[in-house]
């Protein structure tokens, strides 16, 4: 593995096996780099923790390989080599915690492209005050279960209204499926609703579904958009942002309009699960 060097921006590299080619960039971060260097392929985004340590790396790689297979490509990742390379890139980044993007382009399936950036987490207001979201009318994933770079591009065709933190995808029969970059949960009368089909099954969602049954029952189906006024709470999850509350969908206030007790309990359980399952990278 070749050595790193000092950088002021994100660490960007092309990797073949354990051969690392560092790339110059003036991109500000993952989103900027991926937008400038769009290509058809599959990708994963995850974060690392101090140590460096990590969660569910094998589950991310399982999904990475499965996404490639669904799209007609072959991807087999050497897990040990991947971890060694990722650890080096994280150390090169020089930040206690990082977020990283890894992509396999269909044009060069033998090469993985990495972008690693410092990660400070979502602003505290996201958890303390909750977020507004908006329905992305007409938007939908071509291949919902695959994490494709095509969706990174396609979703930009549906700009969110000012103040909306995330967009929601809705099925043809009016069920709320997921967020554009997250998974969606509705809480009504002490029951947690979440879609189980036509969605990207997030890694954070795996944790939510593991911890939630000790708190409240789960109904594995999309919550009807038309019944938003009856909701008590709603929230989203992603690997980078954990569990965070929704307080408004379009012009409809969710529950009291403030983060609710069930969402707080889910976040506490999620964070507890993370603390007990972190492993060295």
Q: Domain limits of the chain?
A: 11-118, 124-279
- Indicate the pLDDT class of residue 1, thresholds 50, 70 and 90: low
CA distance 197 to 213: 19
Integer angstrom CA distances of residue 107 from 20, 38, 74, 279:
19, 12, 12, 33
Cα atoms in the 13 Å half-sphere on the side-chain side of 127 = 14
Q: Give me the mean pLDDT over the 108-114 stretch.
A: 97
CATH class of this structure's domain 124-279: alpha beta
Residue 163's closest CA among 251, 103, 243, 96? 251
Confidence class for position 143, pLDDT limits 50, 70, 90:
confident
In words, the CATH class of domain 11-118 is alpha beta
Q: What is the pTM of this model?
A: 0.93
Q: How confident is the model at residue 8 (pLDDT cuts 50, 70, 90)?
A: low
Of 145, 117, 104, 107, nearest to 32 by C-alpha is 117
Express each pLDDT in 268-279 by its tens digit.
999 999 999 999
Cβ 278 vs Cβ 49: under 8 Å: yes
pLDDT attached to residue 245: 98
Picking from 56, 116, 120, 119, the residue whose alpha carbon sits closest to that of residue 87 is 116
pLDDT at 3: 46
Name the packing angle between helices 79-93 and 57-70 (round to 10°): 110
Could you report the per-residue pLDDT of 191-221, keeping only the tens digit for each? 999 999 999 999 999 999 999 999 999 999 9
Distances (CA, A) of 211 to 204, 243, 274: 11, 12, 11
Q: How many residues does the chain have?
A: 281
For residue 237, is it left (φ>0), alpha (ψ between -120 and 50) or beta?
A: beta
């Amino acid at each position: 593995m070749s050595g790193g060097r000092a950088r002021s921006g994100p660490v960007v590299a092309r990797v073949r096996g354990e051969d690392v080619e560092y790339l110059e960039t003036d991109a500000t971060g993952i989103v900027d780099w991926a937008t400038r260097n769009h290509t058809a392929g599959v990708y994963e985004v995850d974060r690392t923790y101090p140590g460096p340590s990590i969660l569910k790396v094998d589950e991310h790689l399982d999904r990475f390989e499965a996404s490639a297979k669904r799209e007609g490509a072959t991807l087999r990742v050497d897990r040990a080599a991947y971890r060694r390379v990722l650890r080096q890139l994280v150390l090169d980044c020089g930040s206690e915690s990082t977020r990283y993007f890894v992509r396999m382009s269909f044009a060069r399936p033998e090469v993985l492209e990495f972008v690693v950036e410092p990660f400070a987490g979502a602003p505290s207001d996201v958890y303390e005050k909750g977020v507004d979201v908006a329905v992305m009318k007409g938007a939908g994933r071509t291949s919902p279960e695959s994490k494709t770079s095509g969706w990174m591009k396609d979703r930009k065709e549906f700009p969110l209204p000012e103040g909306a933190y995330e967009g929601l995808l809705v099925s043809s029969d009016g069920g709320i499926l997921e967020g554009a970059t997250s998974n969606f949960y509705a809480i009504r009368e002490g029951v947690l609703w979440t879609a189980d089909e036509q969605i990207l099954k997030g890694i954070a969602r795996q944790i939510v579904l593991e911890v939630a049954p000790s708190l409240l029952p789960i109904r594995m189906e999309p919550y009807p958009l038309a019944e938003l006024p009856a909701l008590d709470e709603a929230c989203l999850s992603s690997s980078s942002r954990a569990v965070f509350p929704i307080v408004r969908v379009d012009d409809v206030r969710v529950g009291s309009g403030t983060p609710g007790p069930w969402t707080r309990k889910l976040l506490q359980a999620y964070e507890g699960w993370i603390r007990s399952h972190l492993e060295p990278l």
